[in-house]
Structure 1
């Protein structure tokens, strides 16, 4: 099959990359999205090598469940062993023996085909386009915040970052809170949030300091954590979403002094994300940027790295 893969140093294109091993549902990839985590892997995050890509939509070609064959699907990225205590408690995403699509010991979606366990796959309604379906995985990560924190509708909420995930988090939190502000660096990106009545800021002013009950860090950079700590109230809550390749030390002193609650947040359930796209309570269309053929992966990645770019797709 055709695939682009990371050899630990650089991305390469191979027209004869090995097909996925049998034993799981085989999906022909229709469209895959380039994510911030993919870019971090290219900088050394997770020390991964193999086919990147974990945001995708495709059609099931083979499965032990005949009802799935021919269906358009998206897939949860964590595959647990189904034997350990975490898996028995339904927490496959925390299985110590898990593989993660395009991130950990499992080839991903920048290829013609991928394989996942049947239980990881979710059928996509016809009302959701392929482009919208690629957003299900990161949108599920945005909804995970509401699973982890009981949000008070009277809270002042801030999201630090203006990229793809940050923009979806803003929309999801706006469903629960009237007062949501996105702190970013790019006017073009922030302008997409105006129609959702989400406040936007470039830079932090003295009046912003320690004035937010809940702050979500979604910048993908170490500097984002420092900005987050400036914004959160004493005894407030901080949600950490960034996965960062850099090993630069972070100053946690303000966390202790101000008794901040830190919550790490990663993947989420797919059903709330799919339902949100079907009903239209969350919109991702304004984040759709451009699509590149698989063999033009270098151009696609370079474009995805540009400051004003939102979602870039690869099409096998």
Structure 2
């Protein structure tokens, strides 16, 4: 089969590789679409030692089951593989499983390929009337869905205004999740003028170049994770409010710990999503509660190296680039 293989910093090759081994309880997925995630970009730039070269990246996957009793079933893939039996898994917090693995990180190869292998329990069936290009967005949106759900629970549902930092797929997914979970006033901050115009014109979002210096928000979601965005979150959240932190841009700095302490501001770090969150996000896609989801750009997997380079150069307006193999079961 063909795959886009990470070979080292800013080096990707489209080449022949062996098909994934099919273990008991796993399914082979013929990939329809796979998204380029921020974590893929971190690896591409050589900033993620958890993803050493050579490696097939990519974990935002939709496709069709090939072979077995479920042959031909259209699915979206929860890439987080957990043990199912530890305390975290038994409590429904399987995203914190100490044995968790994710495709695109050793020992599991990722989805920038014709095929990927994944356990049965990680697959959500996609209705026939939902495009697999939209179903591939379940994974990135689920990250925001999880953060929103935890943050609203901390606020006891008392949230009327929210600010989202970052207008990529994670930030936009968080904004859509906020609205789907009952928050009406949502503003996105996106400094890139190309992306900002796209969010306003195509996605119908309320978007600013910089955060307001006078308004305070019940909830601020940082989908970027740099010191500067954490500093913005610290200054924009109201007393007693919540900062929901998804971004993994850099490790430290930015939080105003004194203000957070004196004004009882809650900081919630969030990692991926639970299996239930993923299923809820997929259902929200199927029900149309997350909008038209027409904010993707689809390119051939064979052109993946150029897609990464364009994202790196900030010349891509769409919040999400999806790659499509030549052997994709459905063409978009």
Instruction: Tell me which interval the TM-score lies in, with the shorter structure as reference length.
Output: 0.7 to 0.9
Aligned residue for 2:320? 311
Aligned residue for 1:172? 177
Indicate the larger mover: 194-203 or 23-32: 194-203
Q: Does 1:181 align with 2:187?
A: yes
- Within-5 A mapping of 1:160-239: 160-175=165-180, 176-191=182-197, 192-193=199-200, 198-208=205-215, 211-239=216-244
Aligned residue for 1:62? 67
1:60 to 1:188, Cα distance in 2 relative to 1, 3 A: same
Cα deviation, 1:74-114, whole Å, max 9, x if unaligned, reads: 11111112343323334332221221111353111001111
Aligned residue for 1:282? 290
Aligned residue for 1:6? 6
Q: Supply the distance in 2 between the matched residues of 1:82 and 1:11 (Cα, whole angstroms).
A: 36
Q: Is the 8 A contact 1:168 1:284 kept in 2?
A: no
Aligned residue for 1:258? 263
Aligned residue for 1:48? 51
1:306 to 1:8, Cα distance in 2 relative to 1, 3 A: closer
Q: How many residues matched?
A: 309
Q: Supply the distance in 2 between the matched residues of 1:62 and 1:30 (Cα, whole angstroms).
A: 16
The Cα shift of 1:241 comes to 0.8
1:162 to 1:9, Cα distance in 2 relative to 1, 3 A: closer
Q: Supply the distance in 1 between the matched residues of 2:252 and 2:19 (Cα, whole angstroms).
A: 38
Q: Supply the distance in 1 between the matched residues of 2:9 and 2:207 (Cα, whole angstroms).
A: 38
Cα deviation, 1:171-205, whole Å, max 9, x if unaligned, reads: 22123122222122134433434687753222234
Q: Supply the distance in 1 between the matched residues of 2:324 and 2:99 (Cα, whole angstroms).
A: 31
Cα deviation, 1:219-269, whole Å, max 9, x if unaligned, reads: 24332111111101122100001022x345444534334332011123232
Secondary structure of 2:128's aligned partner: coil
Q: Does 1:145 align with 2:157?
A: no
1:201 to 1:221, Cα distance in 2 relative to 1, 3 A: same
1:6 to 1:197, Cα distance in 2 relative to 1, 3 A: closer
Structure 2 gaps of 5+ residues are 326-332
Secondary structure of 1:263's aligned partner: strand
Q: Supply the distance in 1 between the matched residues of 2:186 and 2:112 (Cα, whole angstroms).
A: 35
The Cα shift of 1:60 comes to 0.8
When the two chains are superposed, the root-mean-square deviation of aligned CA atoms in Å is 2.4
Q: Is the 8 A contact 2:225 2:245 kept in 1?
A: no
The Cα shift of 1:71 comes to 0.6
Aligned residue for 1:82? 84
Structure 1 gaps of 5+ residues are none
Q: Supply the distance in 2 between the matched residues of 1:238 and 1:228 (Cα, whole angstroms).
A: 7
Indicate the larger mover: 4-13 or 159-168: 4-13
